């Protein structure tokens, strides 16, 4: 990138790095923070070179910041440690539920992008997310 050969970054699968980074953010503790930072730096270079859509990069950056903050807060026992008797789900439980749904819904999206990399559609993600949300509401 610094030497002006941004095209070398075109062989990097940003979907794979994004999935790995999201996985690390969901379990962000000590060592995973190194993986999160490493993946984020690589994705930043790929996005700056124009091989990753800017909107997805910005959403990924926001999600990474929020999830890392939530995980670190939980590790330091600042969130979700006390829960009222009438409160069914605390902040941490809701975060786990939401991030788990997104994590599962991303899997078909990554598989879709692997099979059809030229097609630009978030349909697999949204369909899976809606089905999982419907199942969750039905179970509740």
Closest CA to 18 of 49, 63, 74: 63
DSSP letter, residue 76 = T
| Structure-token pair, residue 34 | 């190194």
Has residue 12 been placed in a domain? no
Q: Report the pLDDT value the prediction gives residue 58, as an integer from 0 to 100.
A: 92
Has residue 69 been placed in a domain? no
Q: Return all residues near 136 (Cβ < 8 A) that are at least 6 apart.
A: 97, 101
Q: Report the pLDDT value the prediction gives residue 9, as an integer from 0 to 100.
A: 75
Has residue 94 been placed in a domain? yes
State the residue range of the domain holding 107.
90-139
| Structure-token pair, residue 72 | 């670190």
pLDDT value at 81 more than 60: no
DSSP letter, residue 12 = S
| Structure-token pair, residue 132 | 């999982």
User: pTM for this one?
Assistant: 0.61
95 compared with 131, residue with greater pLDDT: 131
Has residue 70 been placed in a domain? no
Mean pLDDT for 46-63 is 87
State the angle between helix axes of 14-26 and 31-48 in degrees (0 to 180), rounded to the nearest 10: 150
Mean pLDDT for 80-96 is 64
Mean pLDDT for 16-35 is 71
Has residue 126 been placed in a domain? yes
Has residue 57 been placed in a domain? no
CA 37 – CA 17 distance, rounded (Å) = 11
Has residue 107 been placed in a domain? yes
Has residue 42 been placed in a domain? no
12-26, 44-58, 82-96, 109-123: the lowest-pLDDT one? 82-96
Q: Report the pLDDT value the prediction gives residue 140, as an integer from 0 to 100.
A: 60
Domain count, the chain: 1
pLDDT value at 29 more than 70: no
């Amino acid at each position: 990138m610094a030497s002006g050969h941004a095209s070398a970054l075109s062989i990097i699968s940003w979907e794979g790095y994004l999935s790995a980074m999201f996985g690390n953010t969901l379990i962000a503790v000590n060592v995973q923070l190194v993986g999160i930072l490493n993946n984020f730096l690589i994705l930043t270079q790929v996005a700056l070179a124009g091989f990753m859509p800017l909107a997805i990069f910005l959403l990924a950056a926001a999600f990474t910041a929020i999830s890392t903050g939530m995980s670190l807060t939980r590790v330091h026992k600042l969130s979700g440690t006390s829960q009222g008797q009438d409160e069914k789900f605390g902040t941490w439980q809701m975060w786990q539920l939401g991030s788990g749904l997104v994590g599962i819904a991303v899997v078909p999206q990554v598989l879709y992008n692997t099979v059809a990399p030229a097609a630009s559609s978030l349909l697999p993600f949204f369909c899976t997310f809606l089905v999982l949300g419907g199942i969750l509401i039905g179970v509740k």
